[in-house]
């Protein structure tokens, strides 16, 4: 029965492991026929590697959020200012607009995205556009469109043009039935937010494109990220950013999570370094395509204790937001990132004391500058 044997062989190849560089991957059905998303038959789905003399051409989607501007500035130091293009659907503030290339790019507009990639000869794409956990619950249909349909557009453009693609996932990709302390890389993932569901979908679709078409998909599950000079975009872990600004400005903070809510967290410098490290890691060192990364884990009460060491008059009060609390209660308290440490040498620099000192120094000097002016 030759047909059955042929099907078995194809299925066997897919289940065996990633497509290797020497094999021509089968075309996805949606790329055939009259679809605008055609992939040439000789397409090479393997992202190009780069040398110092020939750095990647980078596009960051959703780049005006909490993390994108910092990522652009970090990557520009490594690859050169003009090789890193920041994009978003919002208008950039002047200092961002003047700091390097910025373009309008709506990930829901496939043609616009493809044009951007082609016209700028993009080779690496960091896909940051998303609606985060709390805003996602407030606008499920928009979150579904941006986080799921938008991801499909990004995956197709990346596959079509042989890009190396980074998509961040999150602690929010786990749910109440996942092991919580710690959550390992591979376990039950049944999140109960549209954000979490869309991120599990992104992990699975990215890995599917990797195994099926050889797309160079790389994904890190970020903890809650804490940044000094950018505002969070509507997540459950936002309190851990806002507390520092309030502590310095007012000496007090009203927290929207209960004092004992333990969540994994990370300082932005560690997050951005991990992102570049996994993108630069040799493909053969990656035993997986989606990794947990971890740094620290604390509760609002523990964070407040650490702030008190610097600002003895600091006061924290609690006014719990039931939506955010329910989300936080379903997320991991701790992350097992041993695979990232083993495979590509991940190591964080910032623990809670260094985080608090750094954040308070930043906001302290900001407020001294404001007072002096």
Ligand X SMILES: CC(=O)[C@H](N)C(=O)O
Choose one: 103-111, 251-259, 277-285, 361-369; the region binding ligand NAI (CB under 6 A).
103-111
How far is it, in rounded angstroms, from Cα 90 to Cα 169? Answer: 22
Binding residues for ligand X, rule CB under 6 A, total 10
| Binders of ligand X in range 188-217 (CB under 6 A) | 195
Regarding 129 and contact with ligand NAI (CB under 6 A), the answer is yes
| Binders of ligand NAI in range 224-263 (CB under 6 A) | 224-225, 232-233, 235, 237
Identify the residue among 25, 88, 191, 246 touching ligand NAI (CB under 6 A): 88
Choose one: 29-37, 47-55, 94-102, 232-240; the region binding ligand X (CB under 6 A).
232-240
| Binders of ligand X in range 151-190 (CB under 6 A) | 170-172
Regarding 137 and contact with ligand NAI (CB under 6 A), the answer is no
Identify the residue among 100, 168, 191, 196 touching ligand NAI (CB under 6 A): 168
Least distance (Å) from ligand NAI to the CB of residue 133?
Answer: 8
Least distance (Å) from ligand X to the CB of residue 84?
Answer: 23
Q: Which residues, 6 or more positions from 271, have their beta carbon under 8 angstroms from its beta carbon?
A: 67, 222, 225, 293
What is the rounded end-to-end Cα distance, in angstroms, of the chain? 83
Identify the residue among 18, 28, 62, 175 touching ligand NAI (CB under 6 A): 62
Q: Which CB sits closer to ligand NAI, 123 or 129? A: 129
Least distance (Å) from ligand NAI to the CB of residue 106?
Answer: 4
8 burial class (0-12, 13-18, 19+ CB within 10 angstroms)?
A: exposed
Where does the chain show beta strands of DSSP type E? Answer: 58-61, 84-88, 102-104, 124-127, 164-166, 169-170, 216-222, 224-226, 252-255, 263-267, 290-292, 296-298, 315-318
* Annotated catalytic residue 195: yes
Q: What is the CA radius of gyration of the chain?
A: 21
Q: Which CB sits closer to ligand NAI, 89 or 281? A: 89
Q: Which CB sits closer to ligand NAI, 66 or 246? A: 66
Q: Which CB sits closer to ligand NAI, 45 or 124? A: 124
Structure tokens at 102: 């910025």
Q: Contact 361/311 with Cβ under 8 angstroms?
A: no
How far is it, in rounded angstroms, from Cα 299 to Cα 318? Answer: 13
Residue written as tokens 């302390």?
181
**Among the listed residues 209, 206, 339, the one whose alpha carbon sits nearest the alpha carbon of residue 281:** 339
- Bridge partners of 222, per DSSP, are 170
Provide the b/e sequence for 12-38 (b: ≥16 CB within 10 Å).
Answer: eeeeeebbeeeeebebbeebeeeeebe
Regarding 133 and contact with ligand X (CB under 6 A), the answer is yes
How far is it, in rounded angstroms, from Cα 196 to Cα 132? Answer: 9
DSSP 14-74: HHH-PPPTTS-PPPPGGGSTT-TT---TT---SPPP-BTTB---EEEETTTSTTHHHHHHH
Residue 133, binding choice from ligand X, ligand NAI, none, Cβ under 5 to 8 Å by partner class: ligand X
Q: Which CB sits closer to ligand NAI, 61 or 123? A: 61
How far is it, in rounded angstroms, from Cα 328 to Cα 321? Answer: 11
Identify the residue among 56, 65, 235, 300 touching ligand X (CB under 6 A): 235
Residue 279, binding choice from ligand X, ligand NAI, none, Cβ under 5 to 8 Å by partner class: none
Q: Which residue among 195, 209, 213, 239 is the active-site one?
A: 195
Identify the residue among 67, 84, 125, 356 touching ligand NAI (CB under 6 A): 67
Choose one: 31-39, 156-164, 231-239, 286-294; the region binding ligand X (CB under 6 A).
231-239
Q: Which CB sits closer to ligand X, 137 or 216? A: 137
How far is it, in rounded angstroms, from Cα 90 to Cα 66? Answer: 13
Query: What does DSSP say about strands 84-88 and 102-104: parallel, antiparallel, or unpaired?
Result: parallel
Region for 33 from its dihedrals, namely left if φ exceeds 0, alpha if ψ lies in -120 to 50, beta otherwise: left
Binding residues for ligand NAI, rule CB under 6 A, total 28
Identify the residue among 128, 210, 253, 298 touching ligand NAI (CB under 6 A): 128
Return residues touching ligand X (CB under 6 A).
132-133, 170-172, 195, 224, 235-237
Return residues touching ligand NAI (CB under 6 A).
61-62, 64-68, 88-90, 106-108, 128-130, 132, 146, 150, 168, 170, 222, 224-225, 232-233, 235, 237
What is the set of active-site residues?
Answer: 195
């Amino acid at each position: 029965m030759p047909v059955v044997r042929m099907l078995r062989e194809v299925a066997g190849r897919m289940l065996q492991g990633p497509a290797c560089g020497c094999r021509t991957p089968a075309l996805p059905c949606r790329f055939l026929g009259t679809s605008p998303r055609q992939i040439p038959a000789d397409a090479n789905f393997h992202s190009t590697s780069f040398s110092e003399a020939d750095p990647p051409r980078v596009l960051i989607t959703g780049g005006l959020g909490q993390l994108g501007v910092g990522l652009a500035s970090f990557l520009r130091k490594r690859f050169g200012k003009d090789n890193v293009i920041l994009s978003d659907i919002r208008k950039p503030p002047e200092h961002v607009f003047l700091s390097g290339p910025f373009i309008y790019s709506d990930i829901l507009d496939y043609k616009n995205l493809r044009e951007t990639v082609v016209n700028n000869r993009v080779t690496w794409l960091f896909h940051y556009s998303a609606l985060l956990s709390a805003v996602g619950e407030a606008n499920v249909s928009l979150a579904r469109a941006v986080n799921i349909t938008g991801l499909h557009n990004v995956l197709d453009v990346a596959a079509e043009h042989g890009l190396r693609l980074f998509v961040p996932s999150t602690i929010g990709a786990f749910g109440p039935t996942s092991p919580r302390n710690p959550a390992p890389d591979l376990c039950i993932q049944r999140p109960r937010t549209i954000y979490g569901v869309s991120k599990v979908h992104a992990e699975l679709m990215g890995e599917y494109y990797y195994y099926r078409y050889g797309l160079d998909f790389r994904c890190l599950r970020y903890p809650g990220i804490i940044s000094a000079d950018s505002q969070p975009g509507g997540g459950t872990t936002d309190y851990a950013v806002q507390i520092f600004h309030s502590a310095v400005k007012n000496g007090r903070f009203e927290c929207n999570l209960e004092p004992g809510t333990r969540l994994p967290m990370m300082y932005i410098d560690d997050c951005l370094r991990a992102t570049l490290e996994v993108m630069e890691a040799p493909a053969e060192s990656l035993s997986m395509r989606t990794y947990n990364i971890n740094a620290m884990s604390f509760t609002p009460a523990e964070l407040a204790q650490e702030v008190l060491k610097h600002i003895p008059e600091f006061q924290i009060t609690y006014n719990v937001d039931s939506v955010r609390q329910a989300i936080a209660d379903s997320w991991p308290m701790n992350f097992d990132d041993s695979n990232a440490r083993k495979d590509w040498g991940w190591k964080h620099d910032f623990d809670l004391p260094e985080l608090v000192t750094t954040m308070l120094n930043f906001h302290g000097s900001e407020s001294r500058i404001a007072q002096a002016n």
